[in-house]
Amino acid sequence: MKCYPVPRENLVLSIDNLKDDIPEEYLSHKECYENVIRKGSVLYDIFSELSKDRKHKAHQAPSNAYRISDGIMQNVNPFLLHFALFVPAITNQATPEQQAEFLKHGFGIIGTYAQTELGHGTFLRGLETTATLDLETDEFVLNSPTLTSYKWWPGGLGHTANHCVVMAQLYVKGKCHGPHLFFVQIRDIETHEPLPGLKLGEIGAKMGFNTADNGFLGFHNFRIPRNNMLMKNSQVLKDGTYVESKNEKLTYGSMVFVRVYLLSDMAYMLARAATISVRYSAVRHQSHIKPDEPEVQILDFVIQQHKLFISIATSHAFKICGLWLWQTYSKVMEDIGKGSMDRLPELHALSCCLKTTSTRDAGWLIEQCRLACGGHGYLMSSNLPSLYTTATAAITYEGESTVLLLQTARYLIKSWKRAMEGESLPATVSFLSEYFNKRYNKWENTPKGIVDGLKLVVAGVTKMCAESIQKHVSRGQQYEEAWNSSSVQLIKASEAYSRALLCEVFWFEVDKVSSTLSNNLAVVLKQLAELYITYWALEKRGDLLVYTTISKDDLDKLQERYEELLALIRPNAVGLVDSFDIRDEILCSTLGAYDGRVYERMMEHALKSPLNAETVNQSFHKYMKPVILKHKI
């Protein structure tokens, strides 16, 4: 691995190409894309130089180098899918020989992950793109038989990528074997023209993510070699023999990989938002707390602390749980490599609910950070609107949130049944077996006591779901119908489970490492973890009252402790966000820069608006003036 900086002479494009003359928000849709490709190409070149000696490994966490692009792009990098899904899909789903072949050009090809179609994103078994084996030519023929079978959404597909990994229904000798992945070239390397037999384009402007170049793709008798099916888990041999995977869900492995990673990504998004709004709240003075004293920093309002400190704490919770989940993922992948699939269902359940909760929480907390900056948070130059639209996209992509929570609920219900039958359960759900023993334990008003209480809530709600399903079945519904009838409660079980997991892992991991930290650091980290747990205990007080022995008096004490924690964290608040160590260039915010020159930066940025290039806009003469003159008395 080479060190920074990459020598300038190694780069095709000049690093000066990373600068913007006009802020991105003033560019048209097309200009914006061209602008990010200009900058993205420099970064792509730098990243490829940096990783020349680095072998792509399966199950490797993505490098943090791409964070730099957060600052340079402000919006989404259209090359993101290459690193985040295309390469991981190949390293995780292709045989070693295929990996050597498909990745031999390194960054000489640009890829994306083309799975979702116009008609289906969630229900993968319903995908319509077909890959049919032609035994005579030893090729697969790809087709999009309907409008709804067009690939729709893949990032970078519109104009950027020249290759993709495509999910299609595999047909061999007239038999469908379900969705499988294929390595497909879609554009000529030199001319970048779409290859014959393909219909390619961009899907249009979106709520955010506008520079991601999301595209559509249709196939018309498009041929690829048989060997382009990614064959690590299942194979199609030359004579058309289909060799089944040990577990057909391994085909979905790339999604599990990204879901796991998203938890750490959300920690970072939230750290950026918290840094902006806490620093701004320290600079901004408005109103009085005591009438005879000067106007205060808005961060001194306790309600402002309540809005913001939870974002700092949550970022740490996600970071720590993200590491824990990453370790779990690596261990399960290692086991799978040795032929054991035992922990795959558990990993799937954990990654589904934690992906959902972290993206949803990041979305509303970033919005809360934006609102906490008052009017100025609404400016694009605060960068909070862009952080919000980028984070909220993740609630839907890589598995729609409700759908993923229902996957976890499926696991919880199965585990509940196993617990009732006296089977032993994996550590992450073993508390289900203890529900009946611990249900009436005396409430303990400590972080550990709260974690135990939250677990009782999960068990209680899961029990209620199992009973609800049973009730509907006994009234004549099929199991799947009964499942649908109980889905509101099932979602609640899953949500409660992710909250209990986040609280438990955060608290116990912090507790574990605190003896290795300086006393001051350990104290502050514990305050953040306790704040997080107490916040959620108060938010979920209704559930705790139903499923545990907590009393009103306990809740009053928790409220008091929560307010104490806000006061304890207040003196360190700015230091805590500084310690996220996010450079101004990456923060990209007029409100959140390290030097606190908020108002100066806002004015400097406003002056860059193209509308300020002239004192009178031409539209005045063209449209307004005639109307004004007409009505002038």
Ligand X SMILES: Cc1cc2nc3c(=O)[nH]c(=O)nc-3n(C[C@H](O)[C@H](O)[C@H](O)COP(=O)(O)OP(=O)(O)OC[C@H]3O[C@@H](n4cnc5c(N)ncnc54)[C@H](O)[C@@H]3O)c2cc1C
Ligand Y SMILES: CCC/C=C/C(=O)SCCNC(=O)CCNC(=O)[C@H](O)C(C)(C)COP(=O)([O-])OP(=O)([O-])OC[C@H]1O[C@@H](n2cnc3c(N)ncnc32)[C@H](O)[C@@H]1OP(=O)([O-])[O-]
Q: Which residues are annotated as a binding site for FAD?
A: 116, 155
Q: Least distance from C-beta 114 to ligand X, angstroms?
A: 6
Q: Least distance from C-beta 141 to ligand X, angstroms?
A: 21
Q: Least distance from C-beta 210 to ligand Y, angstroms?
A: 13
Q: Closest Cα partner for 382 from 283, 277, 271, 266?
A: 277
Written as six digits, the tokens of 353 are 């609910």
Q: Which is nearer to ligand X, 209 or 507 (CB)?
A: 209
Q: Which stretch binds ligand X (CB under 6 A): 109-117, 271-279, 413-421, 492-500?
A: 109-117
For the chain, report the end-to-end CA distance as a whole number of angstroms: 75
Site string for ligand X, 371-400 (x = CB under 6 A): ----------------------x--xxxxx
Written as six digits, the tokens of 310 are 């939870």
Q: Least distance from C-beta 78 to ligand X, angstroms?
A: 11
- For residue 389, what is the enclosing H or E element? helix 384-396
Q: Least distance from C-beta 410 to ligand X, angstroms?
A: 11
Phi-psi region for residue 127, left (φ > 0), alpha (ψ -120 to 50) or beta?
A: beta
Q: Which is nearer to ligand Y, 346 or 495 (CB)?
A: 346
- Positions touching ligand Y (CB under 6 A) are 80, 84-85, 113, 115-116, 121-125, 155, 249, 252, 255-256, 344-345, 348, 397-399, 403, 407, 410
Q: Least distance from C-beta 343 to ligand Y, angstroms?
A: 10
* Nearest-angstrom CA–CA distance, 374 and 281: 10
Contact status, residue 173 vs residue 240, Cβ threshold 8 Å: yes
Q: Which one of 127, 347, 406, 582 is in contact with ligand X (CB under 6 A)?
A: 406
Q: Closest Cα partner for 305 from 531, 626, 524?
A: 531
**Contacted entry of ligand Y, ligand X, none for residue 80, CB cut-off 5 to 8 Å set by kind:** ligand Y
Catalytic residue among 139, 367, 398, 530: 398
| 398 a catalytic residue | yes
Q: Which is nearer to ligand Y, 325 or 558 (CB)?
A: 325
Q: Which is nearer to ligand X, 124 or 546 (CB)?
A: 124
* Nearest-angstrom CA–CA distance, 74 and 81: 16
Q: Which one of 78, 88, 111, 154 is in contact with ligand X (CB under 6 A)?
A: 154
- Is 153 near ligand X (CB under 6 A)? yes
Q: Which stretch binds ligand X (CB under 6 A): 86-94, 111-119, 430-438, 621-629?
A: 111-119
With CB atoms as reference, the residue minimizing the distance to ligand X is 121
* Nearest-angstrom CA–CA distance, 184 and 227: 11
* Nearest-angstrom CA–CA distance, 323 and 562: 27
**Angle in degrees, CA 362, 366, 372, rounded to 5:** 145
Which 8-state DSSP code applies to residue 620? Answer: I
**For residue 179, what are the β-bridge partners?**
169
Cβ-count burial 285-313 (b if 16+ within 10 Å, e if not): eeeeeeeeeeebebbebeebbbbbbbbbb
* Nearest-angstrom CA–CA distance, 48 and 62: 14
Q: Least distance from C-beta 486 to ligand Y, angstroms?
A: 15
Cα-only R_g, the chain: 27
* Nearest-angstrom CA–CA distance, 489 and 461: 7
**Contacted entry of ligand Y, ligand X, none for residue 333, CB cut-off 5 to 8 Å set by kind:** none
* Nearest-angstrom CA–CA distance, 126 and 117: 10
- For residue 303, what is the enclosing H or E element? helix 302-337
Contact status, residue 299 vs residue 279, Cβ threshold 8 Å: no
Q: Least distance from C-beta 249 to ligand Y, angstroms?
A: 4
Contact status, residue 181 vs residue 89, Cβ threshold 8 Å: yes
* C-beta neighbour count of 160 within 10 angstroms: 28
**Contacted entry of ligand Y, ligand X, none for residue 407, CB cut-off 5 to 8 Å set by kind:** ligand Y
Q: Least distance from C-beta 258 to ligand Y, angstroms?
A: 7
**Contacted entry of ligand X, ligand Y, none for residue 86, CB cut-off 5 to 8 Å set by kind:** none
Q: Which stretch binds ligand X (CB under 6 A): 120-128, 172-180, 348-356, 560-568?
A: 120-128
Cα Dmax for the chain: 90
Q: Which stretch binds ligand X (CB under 6 A): 148-156, 456-464, 589-597, 623-631?
A: 148-156
Q: Which is nearer to ligand X, 113 or 536 (CB)?
A: 113
Contact status, residue 285 vs residue 580, Cβ threshold 8 Å: no
Q: Which residues are CB-contacts of 21 (< 8 A; sequence separation ≥ 6)?
A: none
Residue type at position 109: I
Q: Which is nearer to ligand Y, 403 or 545 (CB)?
A: 403
**Contacted entry of ligand Y, ligand X, none for residue 410, CB cut-off 5 to 8 Å set by kind:** ligand Y
- Is 202 near ligand X (CB under 6 A)? no
Cα 402 to Cα 54, 282, 487, 490, distances in angstroms: 38, 37, 10, 10
**Contacted entry of ligand Y, ligand X, none for residue 255, CB cut-off 5 to 8 Å set by kind:** ligand Y
Please give the full DSSP string across 157-194, using - where no structure is assigned: TTTT-SEEEEEEEEEETTEEEEEEEEEEE-B-TTT-PB
**Contacted entry of ligand Y, ligand X, none for residue 49, CB cut-off 5 to 8 Å set by kind:** none
**Contacted entry of ligand Y, ligand X, none for residue 402, CB cut-off 5 to 8 Å set by kind:** ligand X
- Is 121 near ligand X (CB under 6 A)? yes
Q: Which is nearer to ligand Y, 412 or 456 (CB)?
A: 412
Q: Which is nearer to ligand Y, 244 or 604 (CB)?
A: 244
Site string for ligand X, 206-235 (x = CB under 6 A): ---x----x---------------------
Q: Which is nearer to ligand X, 122 or 551 (CB)?
A: 122
In the chain, count H helices and then E strands: 22, 11
Q: Which is nearer to ligand Y, 60 or 549 (CB)?
A: 60
Written as six digits, the tokens of 262 are 């998203």
What are the start-end ranges of the E strands in 69-150?
Answer: 111-114, 130-134, 139-143
Q: Least distance from C-beta 206 to ligand X, angstroms?
A: 7
Contact status, residue 203 vs residue 214, Cβ threshold 8 Å: yes
* Nearest-angstrom CA–CA distance, 22 and 96: 46
**Contacted entry of ligand Y, ligand X, none for residue 73, CB cut-off 5 to 8 Å set by kind:** none
Site string for ligand X, 72-91 (x = CB under 6 A): ---------x----------
Which active-site residues does the annotation give?
Answer: 398
Q: Interface with ligand X by CB under 6 A: which residues?
A: 81, 113-116, 120-122, 153-155, 209, 214, 393, 396-400, 402-403, 406
